[in-house]
Amino acid sequence: MDYKVVIDAGHGGTDSGAVGNGIIEKDLNLQISQLMYQRLQDLNVPVKLIRQTDETINPNDRVKRVLDAFGDSNDVIVVSNHINASGGDGAEVIYALRNNNNLANRVATEIERAGQNVRSVYQRRLPSDPSKDYYFMLRETGQTQPFIMEYGFLDSTKDDVQQLKNNYPQYVDAVVRALLEYMGRKTPAGTYTVKSGDSLWSIAKMFNTTVDTLKTLNNLPSNALQVGQVLRVSVIPSAPEESDIYVVKAGDTLWQIASKYNTTANELLRLNNLTTSSLSIGQQIKVPNTIIIGDDNSNENLIPPDETLYTVKTGDTLWNIASKYNISAEELMKYNDLSSSALSIGQILQIPKKTDEGTEGTAPSDSSYTNYTVKAGDNLWDVASRYNTTVDTLMRYNNLPTNLLSVGQVIRIPNASAITTPTTSEKRYVVKSGDSLYKIASNNNTTVDAITKRNNLKNNNLSIGQTLIIP
């Protein structure tokens, strides 16, 4: 049977799903679904993603999108991704009454192998009509084979919270492995399944290719890999006659190599189709076939005068390195052309030196903000409340795409002079469970539009503990 897969990123838009401990369900559901979509595309599995943005979809439209993707047929597998809440711990797989438990059990087995305990694999019946499924995604999706994947509890008192934040890529790969096994598909030719101890460098060497080629083929934002991840591999084409191959050594930078071969860093980027200046030890790069300037002992003289070099060590994060040099993580990423905050041990980072006016491209050191280093257990709501500001203000001030935080991350807390403060006719309100903008506006004799504008809100979504200015 030629199976197709439809991925449903649960909730979205005004429906945030469960919220807590620095996790918003709709956002994490979308991250999980987008990664799963990419993994299946890379494996040439027919796949469609019904929500690619933060949009509101009512149940009827959601089901319609599922059935319109590949039709109403039992060769269509529907994966509905969710995060649980209510104080439990572990993953759950819920499958339709019309299907057997083969696929659901395979998914549960792979999830356990990926390190997450499985709480339950089950079916649930509609109380008013026990012949029907309780959940509409299972009940209304015709002859397809749907299952709801609950990856863990965001309000767990055990380890689910950190696992959801840090390990969801492994769980995505686990689901993909289960799908391939159920479909009877072997890993396609021209691919490689990551094993324990593998690195991009060792895999590149195995297949006579480069780290950057592997990253490009697989759309990898960093060098991080997960056991069981399936990579596309290919042999690097022969270097053109006008170029040689240079193998990167410890301490090398793109600028040093460019200087040695009497060329520019931009030319090396172009010649190797590189999207970043980051290099990996053992990486092979094309260099112009020309006279080498200097020798291996002259590298220390090739460091650009306006920067220092830092070698990533065990335990380092982008945020604690940035904090050490009194710059922002965003500037460090931009300066090194990093597309992700993930780092590799031994990776060389260029650190821009500070001038009297501060570091170029970063905010000067002044009294407009305070740096705060995220500690274990922190979430954006707690930090905002501690500093008498709002989640939205912190997200906007730090250009954060989500409200997820990492231990060691440095965020800027705007001081009172740097943000808009309530006037004497305004008060603050802390959002409680069950609140909505409409309810808060009604209780405070104002309008939703007035609250939205006063707090620079981008939508009507609220978070428990969020502080609002009431005009």
Provide CB contacts within 8 A for 377, sequence distance 6+: none
The encoded tokens of residue 173 equal 């790969």
Taking the C-alpha atoms of residue 357 and residue 268, their distance in angstroms, rounded to an integer, is 32
Give the type of residue at 425. Answer: S
Q: What is the pLDDT of residue 399?
A: 60
d(Cα 11, Cα 30) in Å, to the nearest integer?
9
At 340 the pLDDT is 65
Q: For residue 412, what are the CA distances in angstroms to 11, 30, 341, 400?
A: 30, 27, 17, 11
- pTM listed for this prediction: 0.47
Same fold, 191-232 and 307-352: yes
* CB of 231 closer than 8 Å to CB of 192: yes
How many Å apart are CA 146 and CA 239, to the nearest integer? 48
Which value, to the nearest 10 degrees, does the dihedral of the CA atoms of residues 126, 130, 131, 137 take? 10
Instruction: Return the DSSP state at 427.
Output: E
Bridge partners of 122, per DSSP, are 94
d(CA 223, CA 426): 49
- Give the integer Cα–Cα distance in Å for 169 and 420: 39
SS3 96: coil
Nearest to 82 by CA among 136, 155, 147: 147
- Please give the pLDDT value at position 353: 62
Residue 445 CB contacts under 8 Å (≥ 6 apart), including other chains: none
User: Would you state the CATH architecture of domain 369-470?
Assistant: Roll (3.10)
H/E stretch holding 254 reads helix 254-260
Contact 168, 39 (CB under 8 A): no
Burial-class residue 2 by CB neighbours within 10 Å (0-12, 13-18, 19+): exposed
For the chain, count helices (H), then strands (E).
15, 20
What pLDDT tens digit does each residue of the chain (471 aa) get? 889 999 999 999 999 999 999 999 999 999 999 999 988 887 889 999 999 999 999 999 999 999 999 999 999 999 999 999 998 999 999 999 999 999 999 999 989 888 899 999 999 999 999 999 999 999 999 999 999 999 999 999 999 999 999 889 889 988 998 998 899 876 555 677 777 778 888 787 777 677 887 887 777 778 888 777 777 775 433 333 445 677 777 777 777 777 677 676 667 777 777 766 677 777 778 777 544 434 443 333 333 444 566 777 766 777 777 777 777 777 777 776 666 666 766 666 777 765 433 333 333 334 456 778 777 777 777 788 777 787 777 776 666 656 677 766 777 787 754 444 445 456 778 777 778 887 888 888 888 778 877 766 766 777 666 777 787
- For residue 449, the tally of other CB atoms under 10 A from its CB is 10
**7 and 79 in contact (C-beta within 8 Å)?**
yes
| Sequence spans of domains, the chain | 4-183, 191-232, 243-302, 307-352, 369-470
Bridge partners, residue 146, by sequence: 78
What CATH superfamily is the domain 4-183?
A: Zn-dependent exopeptidases (3.40.630.40)
- pLDDT recorded at residue 242: 46
Name the DSSP letter for residue 293. P
- Top CATH class of 191-232 equals alpha beta
What are the Cα distances from residue 96, in Å, to 37, 156, 177, 416? 22, 26, 21, 54
Q: What is the pLDDT of residue 381?
A: 78
CATH topology of domain 307-352: Membrane-bound Lytic Murein Transglycosylase D; Chain A (3.10.350)
CATH of segment(s) 243-302: 3.10.350.10
